[in-house]
Amino acid sequence: MDLALNLQTALNGLANGALYAVIAAGFVLVYRATSVVNFAIAEFLLIGAYLTYTFSLFLPLLPAILLALPLAFAFGVLVERVFVRPLLGRNVVAVIMATIGLASALDGATLLIWGPDQKAMGTADAFQLPKEVPNLALRLGEVFLSSKAVWSLILALPLALLLIAMLKYSRYGILLRAISESETAALALGINAPRVVAVAWGISALMATVGGAFLAGAAGGGGPGHHLILLGLVVFPVAILGGFDSVPGAVVAGLLIGLIEAFSQLYLESLLPGITQAIPFLIVLLVLLFRPYGLFGQHRIERV
């Protein structure tokens, strides 16, 4: 076995997994706050990538991403206010159908606005500024890390870890966890539950944008297109593996799936073409069979 190749595969897998982790962490955050499964998460990712692409027509990519973030946050808040909040407390199927409907509507909207073709990030630069994010590609001996991998590891992973820390220690995180247990009890204590929940949707959209921008090639490797929806669907196996209601679980599961995908690409793809795309979903099948609450699902508190 080639140690350097395996190490390189592991690091690149972790880097890709960090992108899954950041998107899944936001997805699980919304589930924790509202018990709503956001079936439009892949479209959140797509819109984040397209927003970044649009700004990248005028600006270098890094400021383009930074500008896309507040817009994505506002978009998440808007979705919560317009589509989700009016349906909370209704039949769970109604809420599921609403997010599926939202996904279709957003698909259509992105097709209308940006067209069906895959775009290339930062192809035009009105101000003649450097288009790319700085190239951080690394070679450590025989191990090569692409710029995209390094950016993912230094941006997406810390962002996911920051979300975990925020949820654990910050005032907002405590309020969100309180609301996730009982919105009514929280309201009785004067906690502004609607605002906290809306912010959770905003954060989720923001994190999807970071993941989407880099999956779409902000640090090299293509550009946004509807193929991102398929990539975004990986969020579901990641969330299920992590326990669905655990943000740290989602982060660990994201990294794990990234690793497994990378090694499957290296060792299995030649034997079983297409296995890499299927493997996250096969893992979900196994998890659902043996650990229905995932790796880090919340244990019920029962006093005896």
Q: Interface with another protein by CB under 8 A: which residues? A: 89, 171, 174-175, 177-178, 181-192, 298, 301, 303
How far, in Å, CA of 284 to CA of 270, rounded?
23
| CA terminus-to-terminus distance, the chain | 52
* Least distance to another protein, CB of residue 301, Å: 3
Which is closer to another protein, CB of 90 or CB of 227?
A: 90
Kindly state the tokens that stand for 156: 């997406």
Which is closer to another protein, CB of 117 or CB of 302?
A: 302
Which is closer to another protein, CB of 18 or CB of 179?
A: 179
Which is closer to another protein, CB of 102 or CB of 179?
A: 179
How far, in Å, CA of 15 to CA of 138, rounded?
13
* Least distance to another protein, CB of residue 293, Å: 14
How far, in Å, CA of 144 to CA of 157, rounded?
19
User: Angle CA(286)–CA(289)–CA(290) in degrees, nearest 5?
Assistant: 90
Encode burial over 7-28: b for 16+ CB neighbours within 10 A, e otherwise.
ebbbbbbbbbbbbbbbbbbbbb
Q: Are 197 and 33 in contact (CB under 8 A)?
A: yes
Q: What is the DSSP letter of 134?
A: P
* Least distance to another protein, CB of residue 193, Å: 8
How far, in Å, CA of 59 to CA of 52, rounded?
10
What count of residues does the chain have?
Answer: 304
Which is closer to another protein, CB of 140 or CB of 187?
A: 187
Which is closer to another protein, CB of 89 or CB of 141?
A: 89
* Least distance to another protein, CB of residue 169, Å: 10
* Least distance to another protein, CB of residue 279, Å: 33
* Least distance to another protein, CB of residue 236, Å: 24
Which is closer to another protein, CB of 135 or CB of 170?
A: 170
Decide: helix, strand or coil at residue 227.
helix
* Least distance to another protein, CB of residue 189, Å: 5
Encode burial over 70-80: b for 16+ CB neighbours within 10 A, e otherwise.
ebbbebbbebb
How far, in Å, CA of 240 to CA of 218, rounded?
28
